Chain A
Amino acid sequence: DGGITQSPKYLFRKEGQNVTLSCEQNLNHDAMYWYRQDPGQGLRLIYYSQIVNDFQKGDIAEGYSVSREKKESFPLTVTSAQKNPTAFYLCASNFVSRTNYGYTFGSGTRLTVV
């Protein structure tokens, strides 16, 4: 079955470390997105990519970086510049067309700074 795989499910980071969250999709979707969720804050957009080798900053991109070298993959790196990285991270993808406009979400990665 097609879907989005996020790994790991839980991730612990020491202060000052960079960590990378994986997001892989086998849906042949063009666009991919990273969202951050904090309690009471809803989901906020970090980065998105609509085609390979291109990506755009979302509302809260500071302290994060991404790459889109393959259509299937959109990894998110949480850098040491991100002052409060503890959160739940969701990856999503969609196939943008006039007739197909559904989004698929991964099951999320819960990042904790220790």
Chain B
Amino acid sequence: AQKVTQAQTEISVVEKEDVTLDCVYETRDTTYYLFWYKQPPSGELVFLIRRNSFDEQNEISGRYSWNFQKSTSSFNFTITASQVVDSAVYFCALSLSYSGAGSYQLTFGKGTKLSVIP
């Protein structure tokens, strides 16, 4: 079974501060995908990133960056120079990689509520 842990329930930062959201995962499978989603107050899930377990290269996209470390089973997400519009609940999730059989549902963490204060 897979498990995703987001230990930070709520985080508050002042606008323009950097903030890192932690994600730790558990799986016995060697190939899997990791995801981050953003959920604004309206409720829809906004896809941010997907990483394959074979690819530990860290990624930067604008103010967002992700640090994937298989050795510690972590996939942390950093927002640089936070803005009020970043206020949302952020979810880390895991699914198994395609193998021709099995199921591929997403297993989610409980989410981290980020509040950016102006």
Interface residues of A (CB under 8 A from B): 31, 33, 35, 40-45, 48, 50, 56, 58, 88, 90, 92, 94, 96-98, 101-103, 105-108, 110
Check B103–A56 contact: CB distance below 8 A: yes
Check B111–A42 contact: CB distance below 8 A: yes
Considering only CB atoms, which chain B residue lies closest to A40 in the complex?
B110
> B47 — which chain A residues lie within 8 A by C-beta?
102-103
A102-B47, A108-B43, A110-B43 are known contacts. Are A31 and B110 too (CB-CB below 8 A)?
no
Known: A101-B33, A102-B47. 11 other contacts (CB 8 A): A31-B104, A35-B108, A40-B9, A40-B110, A45-B106, A48-B105, A90-B45, A98-B98, A102-B50, A106-B44, A108-B44
Check A96–B98 contact: CB distance below 8 A: yes
> A108 — which chain B residues lie within 8 A by C-beta?
43-44
> A101 — which chain B residues lie within 8 A by C-beta?
33, 50, 95, 97-98, 104
Determine the distance from Cα of A103 to Cα of B107 in the docked complex, in whole angstroms: 12
Size class of the B contact interface (CB-based, 8 Å): 20 to 34
Q: What per-residue 1/0 map shows which CB atoms of B88-118 lie under 8 Å from chain A?
A: 0001000101100001111111110000000
> B43 — which chain A residues lie within 8 A by C-beta?
88, 107-108, 110
Considering only CB atoms, which chain B residue lies closest to A107 in the complex?
B44
Please pick, from B6, B44, B103, B106, the residue contacting A103 in the complex, using a CB distance under 8 A.
B106
Check A43–B91 contact: CB distance below 8 A: yes
A-B contact pairs, 15 of them (CB 8 A): A31-B104, A33-B106, A40-B110, A42-B91, A42-B109, A42-B110, A42-B111, A43-B106, A43-B108, A45-B107, A48-B105, A50-B104, A56-B103, A101-B97, A107-B43
